[in-house]
Amino acid sequence: MPAVRTEPQDAIRITGLAKRFGDFTAIPDLSLAVPPGSFLVLVGPSGCGKSTLLRMLAGLDEPSAGEIAFMGQVVSSGAGGVVADPRKRNAGLVFQSYALWPHMTVAGNIGWPLKVAGWDKAAREARIGEVLALLGISALRDRYPAEISGGQQQRVAIARTLAPKPAILLFDEPLSNLDAKLRIEMRSELMRIHRATGATSVYVTHDQVEAMTMATHVAVMNQGRVEQFGPPAALLKRPATTFVATFLGTPPGNLLPARRQGDMLVHAGIPLAPAALAQGRDEVLLFYRAEQISTAKAAGRPAIRAEFSEAAPMAGRVMVTALLGPIRLSAITEDMPDAHPGDGIDLTLCGTPDAVFALSGERIE
């Protein structure tokens, strides 16, 4: 493969990447730069393109256009004919399924890629011991996959990927087969392993809780595009689009359509915010976080009548869900409301909207 170089300051640089399957375009045009040592989480709904992107990073799929560079070295190019062998990308991939060889012991599974890579026996044994200790599974060394639990198998799969010391780690929804308690434990383990190895990690999930708890950087994907990229706190604080605003956060944020009437923005005849926030637009979407909506009455605050749907305890408070026609609203309150599904309920909007969006979805600054 010819030595094609780019600037080396990014661990991963994706430029103008596209992937087409016949007439279907999974990724139309994607660019992204990932700093060294990052834990990047690709998050989005099913079918948004995140696994397709990961497969191209791993070298399992070739791009239709654009290029991917690792540590300044172009490893895939849709136009230039550059496609590095997946085994020579200095990257490791952890699949959703553990994909362990059943006829090999735990140590054998971990040591096999080292043997294929040409490590001598002494170096292999030393490295196997290191990753077994790192994952806390030294006692499983001589067991076979059928003799250990699913969580232990996942640790072995991660240890096997870490063994060759890849500079880039790729994770394809590795925790989706685990129960809720074990998922939480393994999230902490993966973050610890990431810190210990110093590798740049790319992690695919549809679970935004995983994304926000694990990542140093998040790329929110929708229909093959990155809607927003940055640190988790920045995305939560200042969502750039309506998709990000309503996808991230627990519970998700709320969007209310509003129309300019005089000097106010009005919904269903109720004045909600100054028209100046719309910056000349006649119709906008007002974004309220769940904690800005309450079932308690407040003097001077607008209230909207909605249909009660459900209420659930959440961290010592109560999350209330109500329907306003096709619009689903979430509110955080102190007490369980005295209401049954289908009952009318008043939702009080506390303060000005957290953000204002154009009908096309972009944030109005």
| 9: amino acid identity, one letter | Q
Instruction: Tell me phi and psi for residue 96, to 5 degrees.
Output: -65, -45
- Residue 196 shares a structural domain with residue 288: no
Per-residue pLDDT tens listing for the chain (365 residues): 444 444 457 999 999 999 999 999 999 999 999 999 999 999 999 999 999 999 999 999 999 999 999 998 899 998 766 677 877 888 998 887 878 999 999 999 999 999 998 999 999 999 999 999 998 999 999 999 999 998 899 899 999 999 999 999 999 988 887 788 888 888 888 898 899 888 999 999 988 888 889 999 999 999 999 999 999 999 999 999 999 999 998 888 999 999 999 999 999 999 999 999 999 999 999 999 999 999 888 877 889 999 999 999 988 899 999 999 999 999 999 889 989 999 999 999 988 999 999 999 999 98
Which pLDDT belongs to residue 82? 67
Point out the domain boundary residue: 199, 229, 246.
246
Domain count, the chain: 2
* Residue for token pair 């709320």: 254
> Do 101 and 153 lie in a common domain?
yes
| 364 within a domain of the structure (yes/no) | no
Question: Do 132 and 279 lie in a common domain?
Answer: no
* Eight-state DSSP code of residue 154: H
Residues 186 and 92 in one domain: yes
In the numeric block, which tokens belong to residue 66?
């654009």
In a domain, 353, yes or no: yes
Q: Of 213, 246, 279, which residue sits at a domain end?
A: 246
Asked if residue 285 is part of any domain, the answer here is yes
Does 69 map to a domain? yes
Residues 242 and 274 in one domain: no
The verdict on residue 1 lying in a domain is no
Say whether both 68 and 178 belong to one domain. Answer: yes
Contacts of 13 (CB under 8 A, 6+ apart): 6, 7, 32, 33, 34, 68, 69
Q: Is residue 220 part of a domain?
A: yes
pLDDT at 1: 41
Given 199, 224, 246, the domain boundary residue is: 246
| Judgement on whether residues 143 and 271 belong to the same structural domain of the protein | no
* Closest among 214, 85, 103, 101 to 160, alpha carbons compared: 101
**Shared-domain flag, residues 115 and 190:** yes
Q: Are residues 168 and 267 in the same domain?
A: no
The C-alpha atoms of residue 271 and residue 341 are separated, in whole angstroms, by 27
Strand partners, 227: none
68 and 30 housed in the same domain: yes
Is 237 inside any structural domain?
A: yes
Can you give the pLDDT at residue 89? 86
Specify if 79 maps to a domain: yes
Same domain as 238, residue 92? yes
CATH number where 137 lies? 3.40.50.300
Domain of 323, in residue numbers: 251-358
| Same domain membership, residue 255 and residue 240 | no
Q: 325: domain CATH number?
A: 2.40.50.140
Sheet order of strands, 225-230 included: 91-94, 168-172, 200-205, 39-43, 217-222, 225-230
In the DSSP assignment, the letter for residue 250 is T
